[in-house]
Each structure stands twice: as structure tokens, then as C-alpha cells.
Structure 1
Amino acid sequence: MPNLKAHYFNLKNIVVVFTSLVFLSCASIQTPQGGPKDKTPPKVLSMTPKNLTRNFNAKKIVIEFDEYFNIQDEFKEFSISPDQERPPILKKRQKRLEITLQDTLEKNTTYTLNFGKAIADVNEANVVKNLSYVFSTGPEIDSLSVSGRVSSSLTNETEKEVTVFILPVERDTLFGKKRPSIYTTTDSAGNYKLNNLRKGSYKIYALKENSGGGDKVYQQVSDEIGFIKDPIIIDKNLDNINLQVFKELAPEFRVMERKLNADGSILLTFNQQLKQPKLTVMQPAAVDVGKRVYFNKTNDTAKIWLSDLSFDSVKVAIQDQGKVLQSVNFTRGKKDTYTRDVTIADNITGGKLNPSQRYTLTFPFPMIDADPSKITLLEDSVKRTTFQVLKDSVDFLKYYIIYPWKTKKSYDIKFAAGSFTAIFNAKNKDITKRFTLEPADSYGTLALKVEVPDSAKQYILEFIDEKKNPIKSFVITKNTTVNFAKYPTGKYLSRIIYDENKNGIWDTGNVKLGAQPEKIWYPATDMSLKANWDREEKLVIIATPPQIQESTISPPRQTSPNNNKEDSGIREAPNSLRKN
């Protein structure tokens, strides 16, 4: 006879398990799938006591939001001004933020709680920007404000997400040591506003931190800084207090990076641009013989190739203008081996060779020799042998292929293995380069008549591309005409550096010395070049550049083209300067 009791209990167990699974699946909270991404930060529904409360005497402040939120980087982002020895405690309760005040409040004082970027929603981390809560323990609330705009001293473009803060003059010694308690961040247009300030004398700063920062404490190695040298007196609302941020040069020389590469070369990176650099192997002195040193254009990076790699360790002295700045040591294992891949780069852009340039080959190692017999040049698939292989007289990383290149012809250059030999007998592998010669009428020329406001001063005119990368520069001391001849067609701009110390370069500022960067002005003249056109423009350098220059570009004037065709009436649309 079947065991009915056991059967009943088994059925009961199945029902219980099934019911539990259904309940759990219904009760579990699932992240909604699909739909547009949430870009809206939490909104404040209420503040208790109300914001801007006078005669404040509460111990707890409650801010309610319309959604769940997280508190992130509290110790970096949240602050109270004036500072308190025991800072407030922040806790989240569902959709409410509770701030418990631990310290006794001063009488007749306005307090500002600044949350920075501490409050963000749960799902997408959308930040409530510049959230603050203000109250006064007396009958009045400090209501003064300072506002302005922050831009880059180099590009002149406005800067977003930059921290602007003030320090009472008597507390300015805390700069770079402790995060400020009175601060705000710039909006997408670079504007800022500091509210609820009390009368007093302050120093004002703008801090652009690198991606790894966020503590609102200036780090010279990585951050950009802007400041006004003299204190600002806040006894009324101040507008147009504009600041420009810059990357300060390191006050003391330091080697940022040093390593022995896998190919046996030595890499050194400095925190300063050297003027007359020199590297010497001090120990063992014999290794210094035959070394090759290559500095980049800004003299802040160097690469050393030693002909003798049998050393256990070497000591390299870094000098500038005859003075030893620092010595560094390198060690290698006796069984270390090195891999050298002799690649070949060239100056072909978009498959085209600039007709005003030589065909240039660049190598990653100092080159010793070239074997033209292993190089095959094809012009429209026809072999040519009248080319020359020429080594650069100064740059040991470069060779040139000399040939009367022709337009409307296609070129294939086959470099067989061993065409070039580098140090340590390293050789290239098989590689083929293909290009055509760009017609000369694809380039344009600009004659720029420059007028200076003061012939006793010096200016630097830089010809720059759309990304504000310098292409060519001229030192200007008097009224003159400069020619930008045979440059590729495209949009170009210029900038003027007011070279106060007449050293031919742009000098940045120094916070400790209170020195601002040398001023830069971006003229509104668009210097775009059109194919086969010669342009003439006039540039009158203004005596004093505005701090933040509008980026409106005027349409260019065109003269008759090189081939005397009828003027086409070419006009360029206004262009906004874009950040590099």
C-alpha cells in the first residue's frame, strides 16, 4: 500500500519551494533595461531648516532629494566655512541627506556648507554640481559675491570644471597645503561665482587639477594654476574677476623618468626645458667615448645610445649651461640582452610628398651606413637608378632620398633587408613605401605685414594650426613683412607673445614670485590658405591684449591667384577656436 503521508509531505515541499521562488523573483529589484541613459542629477526637494536661515540654532540639517544618491569623495569634496575643528557628519537615509553639526557655532556668523561633487545619483553617478547650504547664527547673512571667468593663458580658451577659491589674506600660507573651504567650480562656459562672502581681504586662485587629482590642493608637478597677485578687497559685489591658468615651471630641476630601454638605449625625462643641455658619462669614463645623445625640440627629454654595453653600472651627469644639475645611475645585468627593430618612418602625409620638402627617412637608432644597391625605386612601375641616398649632416636619425620627383607619377620605394645599418649592426627588414608628389599649386602663400606698437619691445609671432600647435615662429622687433610660403591649404591662425624678457620663448608664471605668464594675444584675422593663392594681410599688434579674447574670426581677403585666374571671391566662414 502506498505511503500516503510521505506523498503528502513531498507534494507540500514542492509547493513551498515553488512559491518561494515566485516570491523571490517578484521581490528582487532589477535594474531597468533599455531606454535613454539617465543624465539628470538628483534634485533638491526640500531643506530643513530652510536654506539661508537666519538665527540658526539647529544641530541637524536634512536635505531631501527626488531619488536615491551616493556620497562620494566626501573628505575631498565637502567643506564648511568657517572651518570647524570637528567637521559635520554626513549620512544618507533613503533619499535624505542628514548633516549633523558636531562643533559649537560662532555667534553672528554666516556658515556655508559646500558639497562640491560629493552628491551623485546611484545608477549613472550624475553629480549635483556646486550644491551649497548657507545659514547664519545671527540676524544677517553675508551676501557679497565674486564672479568672473577662467581661461587658459596659452590658448585663451575658457576652462570648465576648474576650482576657483579664495583664502583670507591671513590664511594664504595654507595655499598648497590644505584644501580651501570657500570654493566653486566653473561651468561649461568657464564662468564662476562665489556667493555669501563676508567683507574682507582675500587672495583668489583658479586650480585646474589633472585627472588623478581632485583634492583641491595645488600640486605643481601636475596641476595648472591661476591667481591675481594682489589681494582683492571684498566690500561689494565684484564682477569680471577673470583668471588665467598656466602650467608653472618647476622651481628646481628634477629627473622625472629614467630607464634603460629594451633596445639598450637610456631614456631621461626632465621637469624643465633646458637651454644648453649636455650629458656626460662620468663613470666609467671610457663608456663616454662614442656615445650618441638626442634631445627633443623642447630639451626636456633625452635619449642616449652607448657604444659599449659591457658595463655593470654607469653614472650620467646632466648639465645645462655648463652647470651640473644632477647625476643618475643605471645598472644592467650581465646576462641582459637587447632587441633592436630598425623601423623606417617618413614624411609622407596622406600618401603625398610636399614638393617643398625632401623625402625624409627617420629611424629609431643612430644610423651607421646605407646600401643604395638594396633600394629599388619605381616610377609608375619603371625602375629608376638615378636617385641618391644622403645622410643628414647633423641628425644621425635621418636619411634623405634625393630624386627629381614628378607630379602625376606614382612612386614605390622598396627597402630590402639590410638597406640601412644602425649601431650594433642592427638592420632593417623588408619594407615598401608608396606615395605621389603633391602638385605645387596645392599650396598657398601668405604675406603678412606686421606693425608693432612699440619698437623698444619684442614680440613673437607664431603661425599655428586649428589645434593651436605652432608651425613656424618669428621674433618681431619692428614693422616688417613675414612670409608663410608654400604651406598646405587649410585653416591657420596666429598668436602674438609679448616677449617681456626678450628671450625668444613664451615664459610661464610663478606663484611664489607672484609672476604672471607672458601675455598672449590671438588676433581675429583668419590666415587660411587656399590652393594656388597668394594672400596679403595686415596685422597691427595691439599694445595691451585683453585677458579673455573673443574667438570671432573675420573672413580673409584674397588677392589674385598665382595663375592669374579671375578672383573667385572666396570667403571663409567664422571659426571658433577649439581647445587642443
Structure 2
Amino acid sequence: MARVSRWHREGRGFESPILHQIKAYTFMMHRLISVAVQLLHLSYLWLIPIISCVAQQTPEGGPPDETPPKLIRSFPENGSLNFKGKQIRLTFDKDIAVEIRNFQIMPKLDQPKNKKAYSYTINGKTLELTLHVPLKEETTYAIHFNKAIKDRHEGTKATGDPIIFSTGAFIDPITITGKTKELLTNKPIGEVSVYLYNAARDPKEWQEKGIPDYYTTADKDGNFTIKCIRLGKYYIRATTGQNNTYKIDYEKDKYGFFKETIDLNDNREEVVIPLIASDVRPLKLLRGTPQKGFFEIVFNKAVTHYELTPLETIGAKGKPQLYSLLSEKSPKIINIYNTFGLLEGDAFKVKVKAEDALHRSLEESIAIKFKEGKAEVTKFGLSHRLSNSVRPSICADFTESILFNKPIKTFKEAGIYFEGKNQEKISLQANEWVWNDNQTKLTIRKHFTPEEICQFATKENKNASKLIDQIVTLQIEPGACTAFDQSTNKKIIQTYTLRRKEATGTISGKVETTTPYFIIELLDEKDQCVDAIRNTKKYQFRMVPPGTYKMRLLVLNEAEAEWSPGDILQNIEPNPVIFYEKEINVTEKWEVADIDFTF
């Protein structure tokens, strides 16, 4: 019997040693790969939370630190007395930068010739000043730093009260408190800068340079306080401007002032500074600019009235008719249209008279020119708008104004009328309408007679009362108005409801004053004047629609029809404005009496 090998007995068959080594090597590689895959899988599972954490982290360094720098130490210390030093140090809780133009020591330091009052250095968190002029004896100083010091990295401005110290034996004791209000609405105005200027200073000096002796900023409700003031008399100014120059921008700011000094030899409380917006700059013609089909005359401020007079003739036609208007872009711009065929490059002289809201005027001549092409406005039709929002109702004395987007060349008088019931026409007389100087505004003033009111149409009121309303419709026929470019109006229709006495109330009172000239105004909730009575000491507002109202009295100058806002440049205060302090609620069929004014 043949011998059987061990390999055959175990059923493996015969394998050479080389094949055995290959299989062993392959087996080891499979094991290694399997282990590697398991390790890779475990590594992935282990990295998931780490990756997630990394993805949720903020950029290196964390969020920006926007907390403002805080003063932690000063020399001299706040409240120090008998300070005679020449070095001042302020140390904050973080590295700082400084906008030195906003850094103020008040009262103002003397200014040496050809030298600054102080120099400064910054060392990390500390600002150090070296004074080049002596401090005044027996004087309280305030260092205002919160507009000047900022975080060196984030730029956040510092906060905190001024540092107060004295060169004498005591801190100046005077305090003034008060409120800033808008003169014409009686409402508080917040974030207003309030300045005090010592009366011993030359007003021209501080008006030009603007740096006050003391200042503060009113809070959001208009309340302000200035402490540690030296005894004396001061001029006071206030402005909404935030330009850090301590000057008033008459074009943009609301501002207030008193023409006389305030005596601050004692504390003053409840000082109300009334603010107005009044551009007192002189009216100036800045430039003329040719455009396609029109010429722009640009002023430095809004124009309320103007006249244009041609100074030359064109051919045999004589002096041309000029068509112009105040630009929709700005009331500072007058547009003159090329309606007389002036070619590009040709010039034509015109005299310009212009007036601003303060009745300041100028008169100049200017050569007008045009670029070739048509004005943009001629690409559009003739449009209009009402000068006031549509009233809920009207009285027998009716006023309305219609503003057009182009100067009107011709107007058909028969094309404008009121329409009542059964299409009955209520005509307008020639003295019941008028155009403004540049033919862009048509104003209608009409008193409806009882007979005309009987012609009004009727309709049922939608309210629960189910009363019958009387209505009348203003109509301007198509083509009644022809603009300078021959465009015409589409039909204009506006319906008005007659105010009924039984649906209204009255307000009455008296005025106790020696002033003969004044206007009593009834204001709605938006502070818009809805009715006015002049120079009447026992007054009554009749047929007032239900609602909440306010009342004010404007004092006028003799022979002036308008209230005067004054002139700060000439130290003339605005005329007084007196408010009735309570709101007035009007209901139907009710009279609100004893709304009195005394001044």
C-alpha cells in the first residue's frame, strides 16, 4: 500500500513551499488591510466631534471687543483742588487712540502765539498732556474726553463724565438745568448740544472759532445739565449739529439762542431753549448750467419767489416770453426752457430777481445758454397734483391749489367750474382764481352762497348716522390748460363733501395781551395748521370736525403778515410762540370754551 503524505491525509492536497509562502503573505496583507480600515473608521468617528467643534468656533481671537474705553485713573484726580501742575494724565482700561481736535479743556485755555496751548503723547492706555500756558487762578476746569478718546483697535469712543478740578480752594458751584424744545411744535428735541460763552469774551471771536467755555449734550428727552460753572454772565447757544466744530450749520441744523446773556451768579433751573430751523445765510446765485432744452440757475438756498426779465430781443419778435419753474430736484434751482429757438452756443441775457423765505433778495443779470436737444420734461404729458391732501370736508369758504409739472402757456377760463346735482354747473368768476408768477400753480378761492350750496348733489352717509351728505365736484375740462410745449391736461375731477354743522363742534376763548398783532392757529395731530384767526381777542373756531387738536399763538411784528423766525446773525430772537398746554378734544355738537391765552 502506497504511503499517503500528511497533506493528503488532511485533505489539503500537495503544495510546494513557495506556494505556501505566497498564501501566508497574502493572508497577512488581508489582515493588515482589515486592521487599517478599522483604524481609519475609528479615526473618522473620533474626528467627527472635533470637526464639528472646529466648524462652530468663531475666528481666531474671538468676537470684537466693542466695550468703550473706561477711565480708571487720572492726574489730577476728579474733584482735586489747588492744582498747579503742567502735566495731566488720563489712564484707561485698554489701549487708546485720540482724535485731539475733539479733546476739550474748558474754560478755553489761552492760546500762545505760534504755539499750541498743550502737546500730548500716548503710551498704551495713557494719554499725557503737557500744558504750555498757565492755568488761570481760582478757576474750575473740566476735561471733556469722551468725544476724543477711542479704543485703538475697534475705534469705540470712550464714555464717562468730564474730569473736574480747580486751581483754587473750591470747585465753582453754579449749575444750570433746562430743556431743549422745538419752538413751533413745543415738542422736546434730544441729542442737542448746549454751549455757554462767557460774556467777557468778544462775541466775534467765539462766533468765528466756536469753542465754548462750557458745553453739554441734552439727553433723548431734551433735558440738559451743566455743572461747576464759574460765576458770571453767559451767552447760550444750542444746536442739533453733530460736527464737533461747535458751530451752527444754518442750512441743516435746528438751533436756539437768547439775545441777552444769562446771569449765572446763582443756579438756574428749567431754562427752556427754543429751537428753530431757519437758514439765515445770505441768498447767493452760485452758477448757471446749460442743459438739453433748458438752463439751470442754481442758488445756495431755497428760493420762494423769483422774477425773470429778458434783457435782449430776438430778431423781429422782440423780447421773448420766458417759461420757467422751480426744479422738482430742488427748490434751489430755477429751470428756464428754450422756447425761442436759441441755438447751442448762443447766449441771451436775463435779469434775475430772487427771494428766500426770510424775504432776503438779490438781483443779478446772467447769460443763459442751452444744449441742443429737448428737455426731459417735454417727453412726458402735463400732470398735476393738489397742494394739500384732500380734506374730509369743506366749508362755504373754499380754497384749493393745483400744481402743474410745466409752466402753462394758455388757459381757457370756461374750462374750469364746479358741478352739483343734475350736472348743474357752478361757475367761477375771474376774481375767484389766480395763477402764480411762473404759471405753474392755479389757486381757487371761492365763497359758496346759500343758493349755490342748494345746488350741491346729495348722497347717503356711510356712517351709522345715515345722514345725507352734500357734495360738489371741481372739474377742469381736458385741454383747458396748455403748457409751453403744447401738451395739455387730461380731465381733472375732485369731489368735496360739505361740512355739516351738526357733525362738528366749536372752540372759543379770549386773548389777554397788549400786543395788537397775532395769529391763533388750530393744529391737527400732525402739527399742521387747519384754521387760523388773526388779531381777534375774543375768538371762536366754528364747524371744527371731531378730533384731537392743539393750539398756538404766533406773535407778529407790526405791519408784517407772517411770523418772524428772527435772525441769529443779527442777534434777533424769533417772535414769541405761545402754546395752550393741553390737547383739545372736539366732539359733535359741543363747544369747548375758555381756551385762553395770556402774555
Is the TM-score greater than 0.5?
Answer: yes
Structure 1 match to 2:19: none
1:52 is displaced (CA, Å) by 2.2
Structure 1 match to 2:518: 459
The question of 1:407 aligning with 2:445 is answered no
Paired letter, 2:128: I
Paired letter, 2:512: V
1:187 is paired with a residue whose SS is coil
1:238 is displaced (CA, Å) by 3.8
Structure 2 match to 1:54: 81
1:495 is displaced (CA, Å) by 0.8
Structure 2 match to 1:103: 132
1:175 is paired with a residue whose SS is helix
1:521 is displaced (CA, Å) by 0.3
Aligned length: 501
Give the aligned CA root-mean-square deviation in angstroms.
5.2
The question of 1:494 aligning with 2:547 is answered no
Structure 2 match to 1:195: 227
- The answer on whether the counterparts of 2:324 and 2:407 sit within 8 Å (CA) in structure 1 is no
- The answer on whether the counterparts of 1:44 and 1:64 sit within 8 Å (CA) in structure 2 is yes
Q: In structure 2, how many angstroms separate the alpha carbons of the residues matched to 1:45 and 1:445?
A: 64
The question of 1:75 aligning with 2:115 is answered no
Q: In structure 1, how many angstroms separate the alpha carbons of the residues matched to 2:386 and 2:207?
A: 46
The Cα offsets for residues 176-231 of structure 1, whole Å up to 9 and x where unpaired, read as 211315322222232323333334x44322231446x4311234444444333344
- The answer on whether the counterparts of 1:466 and 1:491 sit within 8 Å (CA) in structure 2 is yes
* Structure that is richer in helix per residue: 2
Instruction: For 1:144-293, list aligned pairs within 5 A.
Output: 144-168=174-198, 169-181=200-212, 182-199=214-231, 201-210=232-241, 213-248=243-278, 250=280, 252-255=282-285, 264=294, 271=301, 278-283=307-312, 289-292=320-323
Paired letter, 1:461: I
1:432 is displaced (CA, Å) by 9.8
1:165 is paired with a residue whose SS is strand
1:279 is paired with a residue whose SS is strand
Q: In structure 2, how many angstroms separate the alpha carbons of the residues matched to 1:334 and 1:472?
A: 49
- The answer on whether the counterparts of 2:384 and 2:402 sit within 8 Å (CA) in structure 1 is yes
Which stretches in structure 1 are left out of the alignment for 5+ residues? 1-17, 544-580
Which stretches in structure 2 are left out of the alignment for 5+ residues? 1-49, 445-451, 462-470
Q: In structure 1, how many angstroms separate the alpha carbons of the residues matched to 2:516 and 2:81?
A: 57
1:444 is displaced (CA, Å) by 2.7
- The answer on whether the counterparts of 1:290 and 1:306 sit within 8 Å (CA) in structure 2 is no
Paired letter, 2:517: Q
1:512 is displaced (CA, Å) by 4.5
The Cα offsets for residues 459-498 of structure 1, whole Å up to 9 and x where unpaired, read as 221222223233333321x53334343x554322111112
Decide which of 522, 530, 538 is 1:471's aligned counterpart: 530
Q: 1:203 to 1:141 in 2, by over 3 A?
A: closer
Identical columns (%): 15
Structure 2 match to 1:542: 598
Please say which of residues 329-338 and 181-190 is displaced more in the overlay: 329-338
- The answer on whether the counterparts of 1:203 and 1:228 sit within 8 Å (CA) in structure 2 is no
- The answer on whether the counterparts of 1:407 and 1:436 sit within 8 Å (CA) in structure 2 is no
Q: 1:449 to 1:143 in 2, by over 3 A?
A: closer
Q: 1:287 to 1:526 in 2, by over 3 A?
A: farther
Q: In structure 1, how many angstroms separate the alpha carbons of the residues matched to 2:189 and 2:361?
A: 39
The structure with more radius of gyration = 2
The Cα offsets for residues 96-140 of structure 1, whole Å up to 9 and x where unpaired, read as 352332525437454321125334679997755673122334554
Decide which of 150, 157, 161 is 1:131's aligned counterpart: 161
2:377 is paired with a residue whose SS is coil
Q: 1:41 to 1:287 in 2, by over 3 A?
A: farther
The Cα offsets for residues 8-46 of structure 1, whole Å up to 9 and x where unpaired, read as xxxxxxxxxx99xx89x887224379xxxx8x8555444
The question of 1:446 aligning with 2:506 is answered yes
The Cα offsets for residues 540-578 of structure 1, whole Å up to 9 and x where unpaired, read as 3212xxxxxxxxxxxxxxxxxxxxxxxxxxxxxxxxxxx
- The answer on whether the counterparts of 2:392 and 2:497 sit within 8 Å (CA) in structure 1 is yes
Q: In structure 1, how many angstroms separate the alpha carbons of the residues matched to 2:274 and 2:388?
A: 38
Q: 1:288 to 1:247 in 2, by over 3 A?
A: farther
The question of 1:522 aligning with 2:583 is answered no
The question of 1:345 aligning with 2:385 is answered yes
Decide which of 40, 44, 64 is 2:92's aligned counterpart: 64
2:118 is paired with a residue whose SS is coil
Structure 1 match to 2:341: 310
Q: In structure 1, how many angstroms separate the alpha carbons of the residues matched to 2:593 and 2:292?
A: 51
1:394 is displaced (CA, Å) by 1.4
Q: 1:408 to 1:362 in 2, by over 3 A?
A: farther
- The answer on whether the counterparts of 2:276 and 2:565 sit within 8 Å (CA) in structure 1 is yes
The Cα offsets for residues 119-169 of structure 1, whole Å up to 9 and x where unpaired, read as 467999775567312233455443433333333333333332222222232
